[in-house]
Amino acid sequence: MSILTPGDTCWRRESAGRAAFLVDTEAYFNALAEILPKAQKSIYLLGWGFDPRTRLAPDGFDGPDDPDEIGRILVELSRRRPELDIRLLIWKSALPISASQNFFPHRGRRWFHDTTVQLRLDESVPLGACHHQKVLVVDDAVAICGGGDISVDRWDTAAHLDDDQRRIMPDQECHDPRHEVMLMVDGAAASALGDLFRARWRRSADEVVPKAAPSTADPWPTRVPAHMLDVDVGIARTEPAWKRDQMVEEIRRLTLASIFEAKDLIYLENQYFTSPIYAEALAARLTEPNGPEVVMISTGYSPSWFDRLTMDQARNNMLWRLQVADIFGRFHAYWPVTRSGQEIIVHSKVTIIDDRLARVGSANLNNRSGGFDTECELAIEANGEDDRMAIGALRDRLVGHFMGYTGDAVTKARLERGGLGAAISALNHEGRLRPLGPRDMTTLGKMIAAFHIGDPADVADSWRIFRRRDRLYEASRRLSQTIAQGRPTTAQASSKSITSGR
């Protein structure tokens, strides 16, 4: 039985002739550099942030006229090909966040003055929510979705080198090492993401963007080989209740369904882990005598003070819950560092279930990504041995790259040692994956963690801060009761009565 059910755990399920995993932003930006000039009809971008000064091929030197800046590339395309429909729909961020980004993308609109490039700042979300979808669509023929934004502090290689001068920003400072993952697809799956963009644009600008006739050109980058062929792609969303629109919680349902369908291994890469509902589901699997191994990789300490105050504090309680439940020693959590010990920011949002399901998107394992912010992710379910090999290879490659090993080395160690956690223990000689566990908290931190301040589950929850704890843990208790009556089916695990605690 498929985990991907349109109308429940995903919005749509569409075909793709090719799918490729872009590991780290160098791979993403290299793909962009080849895709964008091939556009014949349209370029659509959904983003949380956007900075036109972002360089697609940084070289360690930043000047005023770098031709690889995304803003200059788009302006040149618009002048050379004025019929090309270029639209950027970026979240209109709150003042504190805008200030942290040097007031981009707000200032970015100046770049496109007197051009056909349309940059619109989207504020069509409830107070306190954000647009967090990250999607690029070219000609409705190729699309990229994942956790990465086109911003000046995102570029890095899979090596995550110490003191890499190519991570230079316009202020001549270098940003920290950063890990991202994107998924590129073509065919009907890419066209469906074009539909998602057009729906967002219509909601924000009250303008219908017509769907262009198919292009005769193939914008797929020649330097990127497909990792999977002829696959079905599930597209899952989160959308908050907004005016007449009902809440969409496909990603929350898919996450629970994924956890309960796992047989051997749940692999999670994520920036945040604060959801009591997800923690309860994982805890239930850890208490099963023959349940799956759970391996989680996250950032050690969030880079922003707000996230350290909110997300890091709440994560402590979730990690404690899983450690208590881990009576069979199958839970392993880590945070990665470079060879010299510098923290690597894990900004990717990846879930891999056994060798069966690979999910890449923008949603964190927190409350707000399940029902308060807008999110989008792609999921591919294996259909045959080649697909299973590709999904397993991606997982082992991701784990290995943090330790400086190939995916093949991880695969070998995993098969010899009988599990991914044991493989990491065997290969982690340099300590580049450090154990991640609960940390001491102040009284303020305990209160923030208890009430999940800054992390509402939906619009109603955002106005009931001091009822949030009871509401979230009531949802967790309902899930526990369902588990006690027998492990939920996919449909039960994804039902609104469990996820929303209603």
**Per-residue pLDDT at 478:** 81
Whether residue 319 lies inside any domain: the answer is yes
At residue 490, does pLDDT exceed 70? Answer: no
Tell whether 200 and 235 lie within a shared domain.
Answer: no
**Per-residue pLDDT at 466:** 77
- Banded model confidence at residue 502, pLDDT cuts 50, 70, 90: very low
Q: Quick check: helix, strand or coil at residue 148?
A: coil
Whether residue 363 lies inside any domain: the answer is yes
User: d(Cα 441, Cα 435) in Å, to the nearest integer?
Assistant: 18
Tell whether 395 and 440 lie within a shared domain.
Answer: yes
pTM for the predicted model, two decimal places: 0.95
At residue 323, does pLDDT exceed 70? Answer: yes
Tell whether 37 and 170 lie within a shared domain.
Answer: yes
* Region of poorest pLDDT, from 390-394, 488-492, 497-501: 497-501
Share of the chain above pLDDT 90, in %: 79
**Average pLDDT for 302-309:** 89
At residue 252, does pLDDT exceed 90? Answer: yes
Residue whose token pair is 């940390």: 439
Name which of 498, 487, 499, 488 is nearest 288 in CA terms.
487
**Average pLDDT for 105-126:** 90
Q: How many structural domains is the chain composed of?
A: 2
For residues 179 and 344, the answer to whether their CB atoms sit within 8 Å is: yes
**Per-residue pLDDT at 487:** 61
Tell whether 428 and 493 lie within a shared domain.
Answer: yes
Tell whether 209 and 244 lie within a shared domain.
Answer: no
At residue 103, does pLDDT exceed 70? Answer: no
**Average pLDDT for 214-235:** 95
pLDDT tens string 401-437: 999 999 999 999 999 999 999 999 999 999 999 999 9
CATH value at residue 185: 3.30.870.10
pLDDT tens string 10-26: 999 999 999 999 999 99
**Average pLDDT for 481-489:** 68
DSSP one-letter code for 246: P
**Which of 220, 253, 280 marks a domain boundary?**
220
Tell whether 156 and 196 lie within a shared domain.
Answer: yes
Tell whether 27 and 60 lie within a shared domain.
Answer: yes
User: d(Cα 315, Cα 149) in Å, to the nearest integer?
Assistant: 24
At residue 489, does pLDDT exceed 70? Answer: no
**Per-residue pLDDT at 493:** 53
At residue 60, does pLDDT exceed 50? Answer: yes
Residue whose token pair is 């009556």: 485
Amino acid at 106: H
**Per-residue pLDDT at 498:** 41
pLDDT tens string 179-212: 999 999 999 999 999 999 999 999 999 999 999 8
Whether residue 7 lies inside any domain: the answer is no
For the chain, the average pLDDT equals: 92
**Per-residue pLDDT at 12:** 98
Continuous H helices in 39-120: 70-80, 95-100
Whether residue 410 lies inside any domain: the answer is yes
**Which of 165, 189, 220 marks a domain boundary?**
220
Whether residue 40 lies inside any domain: the answer is yes
User: d(Cα 216, Cα 80) in Å, to the nearest integer?
Assistant: 19
**Which of 171, 192, 220 marks a domain boundary?**
220
**Per-residue pLDDT at 500:** 47
At residue 492, does pLDDT exceed 60? Answer: no
At residue 464, does pLDDT exceed 60? Answer: yes
Share of the chain above pLDDT 70, in %: 94
At residue 129, does pLDDT exceed 70? Answer: yes
User: d(Cα 57, Cα 146) in Å, to the nearest integer?
Assistant: 20
Whether residue 226 lies inside any domain: the answer is no
Tell whether 22 and 168 lie within a shared domain.
Answer: yes
Tell whether 134 and 240 lie within a shared domain.
Answer: no
Cis amide bond preceding 240, omega within 30: no
Whether residue 13 lies inside any domain: the answer is no
**Per-residue pLDDT at 257:** 94
pLDDT tens string 75-89: 999 999 999 999 999
Tell whether 185 and 150 lie within a shared domain.
Answer: yes
For residues 335 and 302, the answer to whether their CB atoms sit within 8 Å is: no
**Per-residue pLDDT at 450:** 86
Range of the domain at 205: 18-220
Tell whether 145 and 294 lie within a shared domain.
Answer: no
**Average pLDDT for 138-156:** 97
Tell whether 275 and 398 lie within a shared domain.
Answer: yes
Beta strands in 329-424 (DSSP E): 331-336, 345-346, 350-353, 357-361, 375-381
**Which one is predicted more confidently, 101 or 94?**
94
User: Environment class of residue 376 by beta-carbon count within 10 Å: exposed (0-12), middle (13-18) or buried (19+)?
Assistant: buried
At residue 501, does pLDDT exceed 50? Answer: no
* Region of poorest pLDDT, from 108-117, 401-410, 488-497: 488-497
Residues β-bridged to residue 15? 232
Name which of 70, 133, 179, 129 is nearest 402 in CA terms.
179
For residues 170 and 152, the answer to whether their CB atoms sit within 8 Å is: yes
pLDDT tens string 333-374: 999 999 999 999 999 999 999 999 999 999 999 999 999 999
Whether residue 225 lies inside any domain: the answer is no
Using left for φ > 0, alpha for ψ between -120 and 50, and beta otherwise, residue 336 falls in: beta
At residue 475, does pLDDT exceed 90? Answer: no
**Per-residue pLDDT at 430:** 96
